[in-house]
Amino acid sequence: MCGIVAYVGKKQAYPILITGLQRLAYRGYDSAGIALTNGSLNIYKKKGKVQDLIDYTELVQPEGTVGIGHTRWATHGEPNDINAHPHKSMNGKLAIVHNGIIENYASLKAELVKRGHEFESQTDTEILIHLIEEVQKSENVPLEEAVRLALHSVVGAYAIVVISESEPGKLVAARKSSPLVIGLGKDEYLIASDATPIVEHTKNVIYLNDEEIAVIDLENGLNIKSIDNENISPYIQELELKLEKIEKGGYDHFMLKEIHEQSNTLIECLRGRLSIEKGILMGGFRDVEDRFIHAKRIIMIACGTSWHAALVGEYLFEDLARIPVEVEYASEFRYRNPVIYEDDIVIALSQSGETADTLAAIRLAKQKGATVFGICNVVGSSIARESHAGAYTHAGPEIGVASTKAFTTQLGVLTMMAMKIAVSRNVMSDEEYRAIATELDNMPNLISEAIKSESKIKFIADEFKDVHNFLYLGRGYNFPIALEGALKLKEISYIHAEGYPAAEMKHGPIALIDEQMPVVVMATNESAYEKIVSNIQEVKARKGKIIAITTFADETIREIADYVIQIPETLEPLTPILSVIPLQLLAYHIAVNRDCNVDQPRNLAKSVTVE
Ligand code: G6P
């Protein structure tokens, strides 16, 4: 969601900014723009893809060694050329790019209108740059001071970068709740929403903290201040991100690459943590282990696919570690005055570590005294930094908007945590531990086996590419996977899909079943096997088309299902890691057949940094 990239250095900024915007495209956007200072301030912006912006500027050849760029995901005002960022001040000398939402924009606007300001766009961002202009005019201060003073009047979330025609060579950036990373190169600096536009220029980065303002020019280098004007010493970190990780590497789409990577990403996730002999060794867990052991309950909060991982977590923690778990949508949790006790543990799951609702929910939980444990993929992300303790999933950069490898590694982390707590609480025997640990250790191989069903899945995807509805059913550990399968399909193919616990089918969805209706049934888990067979019969009796996900050994369902996708058999608590693979592939191939933009589905964003 909204991507920011900015450059100051000795090179031409335009090509660097364009490549940066292309790197950020995965976050989801509907328009793109660039502003450069080169004697005067010039802004180029276009609705649509970065390519539309490139086409638009083809004859102009924008020049300048300082610039800001933006991919916009519309919040205030429809996607069009005018609402696209950068936005300029009334005198045309300042330009801004912004990620976030200025919540009090209406009152700020009313105030500015009284002072004679007129606005071109419908965005909250344009109000902010006019406010900065107004402060600069009345206080007669340098740009960074005007930004700092103006931000005192702002309620909401922001990551911004501002440039000025009158102070050429200077970038001023600030953040609150929306991420910004600063790259420190040789005679050049970059600023971006995440490290992907930076990695090919430098490995040295600084993550800006909330309510910090960075001022950069080549003469004075980088200076960081708090919004209250205190000097801040920056903490420089080295990026571990590798360029090849954010490129497609021969695959047609990032999503397909990421599905195929899952065997390796799970190895990375388990590496150094899972030991059959020594137990689970998780560094981030050590300080809070005691709290987990004595916890009366755990609350898991997340959004989207991460919420589905949390649902699997509920099964794992209750089944293996015998601790009650509540799973909450972060957006609901934070607004309903939740009851939180000081001995509660809140686990926040987030691929990006930047989801605005999840971030706000953990802040609330911390305020109320709970211990917050973050499970994030993006290293250095806000949720990772604001949690008391946590574990990274180590899936590497996930570029496809639809989450795949981040999900299976979230399950890897949750499984290890549940096993560790179970052993410490003496509710898991050594034998049980060894059995699950051995199977988890082998899971990367089983994932590779499961992926071999792809050609069969392609065939099924061809058969069903034109249907309007899909139903996904699962029980127990496979219920959250049914939800995830349905989410994957609707996200990228725009086919309406619903996931249901199989037994609930009789309480509603059965009314939808006819010969047009494909029903994907997860039929891998042993404990509910007979019941699942009955559910399949109920669908068949109403002429629904059954696509069953079964194990290689299964014979019963092979007889009754219309289509069967086989995956290896595994222990029930580990089933979700495997059974989600064919559902990811099914969604992917249906979407490809329908000519959908798989990696950047319409209206969706990778990192939802607004509430
Ligand atoms: C967006 C993405 C989803 C993701 C969800 C939660 O909706 O498109 O793929 O599952 O946000 O994101 P998080 O980064 O917190 O896991």
**Choice from 327, 403, 491 to test ligand 1 binding pocket (greatest atom count within 8 A of CB):** 403
**Angle in degrees, CA 310, 278, 306, rounded to 5:** 10
User: When comparing pLDDT for 444 and 74, which is higher?
Assistant: 444
pLDDT at residue 301, rounded to an integer: 98
User: When comparing pLDDT for 68 and 2, which is higher?
Assistant: 68
Q: Is the pLDDT of residue 526 over 80?
A: no
Q: Is the pLDDT of residue 528 over 90?
A: no
Q: Is 606 in the pocket of ligand 1 (CB under 6 A)?
A: yes
pLDDT at residue 242, rounded to an integer: 82
Q: How far is the CA of 133 from the centre of ligand 1 (A)?
A: 36
Distance of CA 553 to the CA centre of its chain: 36
The percent of residues in the chain predicted with pLDDT above 90, rounded, is 88
Q: Whose CA is nearest to atom 15 of ligand 1?
A: 350
Q: What is the mean pLDDT of the segment spanning 473-500?
A: 97
pLDDT at residue 248, rounded to an integer: 87
pLDDT at residue 79, rounded to an integer: 92
Q: Is the pLDDT of residue 546 over 80?
A: yes
Residues 6+ apart with CB under 8 A from 1: 27, 28, 29, 73, 99, 605, 606, 607, 608, 609, 610
Q: Is 355 in the pocket of ligand 1 (CB under 6 A)?
A: yes
Give me the chain's average pLDDT, please: 95
Q: Is the pLDDT of residue 28 over 90?
A: no
Q: Is the pLDDT of residue 525 over 80?
A: no
244 — pLDDT class (breaks 50, 70, 90): confident
Q: Is 358 in the pocket of ligand 1 (CB under 6 A)?
A: yes
Residues 295, 344 contacting (CB under 8 angstroms) = yes
Atom of ligand 1 nearest to the CA of 605: 8
Q: Whose CA is nearest to atom 2 of ligand 1?
A: 606
Q: Is 502 in the pocket of ligand 1 (CB under 6 A)?
A: no
Structure confidence by residue, pLDDT tens digits, 329-372: 999 999 999 999 999 999 999 999 999 999 999 999 999 999 99
Q: What is the DSSP string of 171-207?
A: EEEEEEBS--EEEE-SSEEEEESSSTTTTTT-SEEEE
Q: How far is the CA of 586 from the centre of ligand 1 (A)?
A: 20
Q: Is the pLDDT of residue 48 over 90?
A: yes
Q: How far is the CA of 456 from the centre of ligand 1 (A)?
A: 29
**Choice from 355, 387, 609 to test ligand 1 binding pocket (greatest atom count within 8 A of CB):** 355
Structure confidence by residue, pLDDT tens digits, 367-408: 999 999 999 999 889 999 999 999 999 999 999 999 999 999
CA distance 537 to 77: 50
pLDDT at residue 607, rounded to an integer: 80
Q: How far is the CA of 454 from the centre of ligand 1 (A)?
A: 25
Q: What residues act catalytically? A: 2, 606
Q: Is 403 in the pocket of ligand 1 (CB under 6 A)?
A: yes
321-325: which pairs have CB atoms within 8 A and are 24 or more residues apart?
Answer: 321/418, 321/419, 321/421, 321/422, 321/425, 321/427, 321/428, 322/422, 322/425, 322/427, 323/292, 323/295, 323/296, 323/297, 323/298, 323/421, 323/425, 324/296, 324/297, 324/298, 325/297, 325/298, 325/299, 325/300
Q: Is 305 in the pocket of ligand 1 (CB under 6 A)?
A: yes
Q: How far is the CA of 349 from the centre of ligand 1 (A)?
A: 10
